[in-house]
Amino acid sequence: MEAGKDYFTDKKLFTTLDQLNETKRVIERTGQKYMVYYTERIHVEGAVFSSDFIADGAIGRVIHVTGFGPHRIKPRNSRKWFLKKKHMMAFYVI
């Protein structure tokens, strides 16, 4: 963005609020765009069908949608820093 280019990614890049805030400052300063393309929500067949059902009213009134994607936590395969609380800004186990 500092080089005059917009940034388009399929993964969010931040693990801390400081990183998010710095990117907001760069956006403000450069006028460039930062975009994340969440393919799990748009291009996964199950998500598309679900959206159609909701739009058609086939499943009643929907008040909340949460997508968990195909991801799995595998602590034995994860880097040591991955499961530390300070790096888990948007990570929830239900």
Higher per-residue confidence, 21 vs 46: 21
CA-to-CA separations, 4 to 24, 30, 31, 84, in angstroms, rounded: 15, 7, 9, 35
pTM of the model: 0.48
pLDDT at 14 over 90: no
53-93 pLDDT, tens digit each: 888 988 888 888 776 655 666 667 766 776 666 555 444 43
The helix, strand and coil proportions of the chain, stated in percent and rounded to the nearest 5, come to 40, 5, 55
Q: What's the pLDDT score for residue 73? A: 65
Look up residue 11 and give its DSSP letter: S
Residue 15 near residue 41 (C-beta atoms within 8 A): no
